[in-house]
Structure 1
């Protein structure tokens, strides 16, 4: 029941995404300092520790000092941002249908990105569901954990593919800037999630 409640809380909070402040709202007043310190210490294992702390400290009161809850929150945050990026890129494609508003090369890159980011969202969704199985019964740990690691890694790969689609020097417009900045941010969040998932796996593998 505790794990189910934690996941429900995540669904409620994670839609707000990361904020510019390290801790916000009720979480700031209810989270013990030890929980925040635990998140900060854990985020040192990521490539983007400041972003990691910013994204996850708002859930400190629920995460407490649980590496289970920390990894689960990180995946859920990553999924939320991937969904947001997917909707953003779909809007660009829709507004530029037929290449009327952007160059053909950019339009094709946007179309390719729609596909890769959709794959990323699917992989992260599977990861969230699979991680819940680990939390629920603790059985077949290695099987579930391997699936989670594979899918989060796949999600990150697809996000990077989307960003690289705009690497051509002939694409230096507003669309390229918008998409690449968005995808760099999302890939950093997912990279942090993967690091925390790997950290959790390493600590609990027999």
Structure 2
């Protein structure tokens, strides 16, 4: 059976008008996937960073900066959540104390992640030993932020604190710690010279 040429030509031309994923976007997404493979939580890494592919492109500096910004955003959101919970009147004494401690730890974590973002932003102007000094500072602050996150979560460990408060804090702290761990892994790649 012979197919009419004109309908096939029209179909072919109409398919060419369907926007395809650009080569640059595909390359950026591929870059993000490759770099995220070395993180502790690679799926979360790709999920949280791929929406920023156009900004990241193929820049390790921008990748680390974006990962830190994601961590900072989630830490700020968690701090606000903990602050809101700590004002709830029906809390037991130990729950209230754990929330207040956690709020302090999250404030420290936010400060340290903010400092890390600034350090990574300063990399663009740095060379040689100064470059690695900024990377080292960022590594130190991100590691300290992870300790803050862990200390907050530890305040809710044990059987004495059970229920929705503990569960909601644990869920948020786990997410913050995971994206922060991924950001640290991406910074460590830069420290290893994997630009």
Q: Please tell me whether residue 135 in structure 1 is matched to residue 128 in structure 2.
A: no
Aligned positions, number: 174
Which residue does 1:20 correspond to in 2?
Answer: none
Instruction: Please give the alpha-carbon distance, in whole angstroms, between the structure 1 residues aligned to 2:159 and 2:34.
Output: 40
Aligned match of 2:155 in 148, 165, 168? 165
Structure 2 unmatched runs, 5+: 1-19
Q: Deviations over 1:44-76 (max 9, x none)?
A: 111111000000001111211111111111111
Instruction: Please give the alpha-carbon distance, in whole angstroms, between the structure 1 residues aligned to 2:125 and 2:112.
Output: 20
Instruction: Please give the alpha-carbon distance, in whole angstroms, between the structure 2 residues aligned to 1:119 and 1:29.
Output: 41
Q: Deviations over 1:12-70 (max 9, x none)?
A: xxxxxxxxxxxxxxxx9565211101101110111111000000001111211111111
- Superposed displacement of residue 200, structure 1: 1.3
Conservation of the 8 A alpha-carbon contact between 2:135 and 2:190: no
Conservation of the 8 A alpha-carbon contact between 2:68 and 2:180: yes
Q: Deviations over 1:130-189 (max 9, x none)?
A: 111112343611211111100011001100110111002111111101111110111001
Q: Please tell me whether residue 78 in structure 1 is matched to residue 68 in structure 2.
A: no
Aligned match of 1:52 in 25, 28, 45? 45
TM-score scaled to structure 2, two decimals?
0.84
Q: Please tell me whether residue 190 in structure 1 is matched to residue 190 in structure 2.
A: no
Instruction: Write out aligned runs for 1:39-188 (5 A).
Output: 39-96=32-89, 101-138=90-127, 140-188=130-178
Instruction: Please give the alpha-carbon distance, in whole angstroms, between the structure 2 residues aligned to 1:111 and 1:73.
Output: 29
Conservation of the 8 A alpha-carbon contact between 2:82 and 2:103: yes
User: What secondary structure is seen at the aligned counterpart in 2 of 1:169?
Assistant: coil
Structure 1 unmatched runs, 5+: 1-27
* CA 81–29 in structure 1, closer or farther in 2 if over 3 Å, else same: farther
C-alpha RMSD over aligned residues = 1.7
Once structures 1 and 2 are overlaid, which stretch shifts more, 181-190 or 139-148? 139-148
Once structures 1 and 2 are overlaid, which stretch shifts more, 103-112 or 139-148? 139-148
Instruction: Please give the alpha-carbon distance, in whole angstroms, between the structure 2 residues aligned to 1:124 and 1:136.
Output: 20
Instruction: Please give the alpha-carbon distance, in whole angstroms, between the structure 2 residues aligned to 1:71 and 1:129.
Output: 11
- Superposed displacement of residue 204, structure 1: 5.5
